[in-house]
Amino acid sequence: MAMKSFLYSVWETIEVGVVAVLAVFLIRSYLIQPFLVSGASMEPNFSSGDYLLIDELTYRFREPERGEVIVFHYPYDETTYYIKRIIGLSGERLIFKDGKITVFNSRNPNGLTLPEGYLPAGFMTSGKEVVLRDNELFVLGDNRNYSFDSRSWGSLSKKEIVGLVRLRLWPFTKVLAVEKPIY
């Protein structure tokens, strides 16, 4: 009787372990994923060593939006992950002039100069005119002078997106639910 009770306890422990591993696998594969920021390209908003949670589900139901911070595979090396902010969307034309970015699209045929309040005062953005095709995005780091981004390697295909940055968990003094700016 004692052996049967012992085996039953072992079996229950194995079941709990299998369910836990399966749950972690499914959550990490399809819902959320941790990401550790490395580098200064997103300062002052995200710093090297920040620990983030990435939402992998949202873009299965809607399109990316301007201002959202995303994690994606670097287009020329699928093993490398980058974090940047979406500035340009499919079908848009971007013009860089006097340190500002102006977006031309069907909603703004005369152009919308982006008010980038998430950048420190005095930050200037340089670049050349860009026209985005279907399924392309233009992404920039917030630390424009020290960011290797779409200005260097071109537009980003939407299929490269891993997910949307939703939450900064570390450091504890800077825990933050990340929201996109309103343009």
* Residues recognised as catalytic: 41, 84
State the pTM of this model: 0.80
Question: Computed from CA positions of residues 38, 41, 47, 53, in that sequence, does the dihedral angle turn out positive or negative?
Answer: negative
pLDDT band at 56 (very low <50, low <70, confident <90, very high): confident
Domain boundaries, the chain: 1-30, 34-177
Tracing tokens 């911070």 back to the chain, one arrives at 69
- pLDDT tens readout for residues 136-175: 999 999 888 888 999 999 999 999 999 998 878 877 777 7
Domain 34-177 listed as CATH 2.10.109.10: yes
pLDDT at 138: 95
Q: Tell me, what DSSP letter sits at residue 49?
A: T
Mean pLDDT of 4-28: 70
Q: What's the chain's average pLDDT? A: 84
Instruction: Residue 147: name the closest of 171, 179, 163, 123 by CA.
Output: 123
Residues 71, 51 contacting (CB under 8 angstroms): no
Higher pLDDT, 48 or 31: 48
Instruction: Residue 40: name the closest of 175, 150, 142, 165 by CA.
Output: 142
* Tokens describing residue 76: 């020329």
pLDDT at 160: 94
pLDDT at 13: 78
Higher pLDDT, 9 or 31: 9
pLDDT at 40: 79
* Tokens describing residue 156: 């980003």
- pLDDT tens readout for residues 63-87: 999 999 999 999 888 889 999 999 9
Tell me which long-range contacts 45-51 makes (C-beta under 8 A, separation of at least 24). 45/69, 45/118, 45/142, 46/83, 46/142, 46/165, 46/168, 49/170, 49/171, 50/168, 50/170, 50/171, 50/174, 51/168, 51/169, 51/170
pLDDT at 177: 67
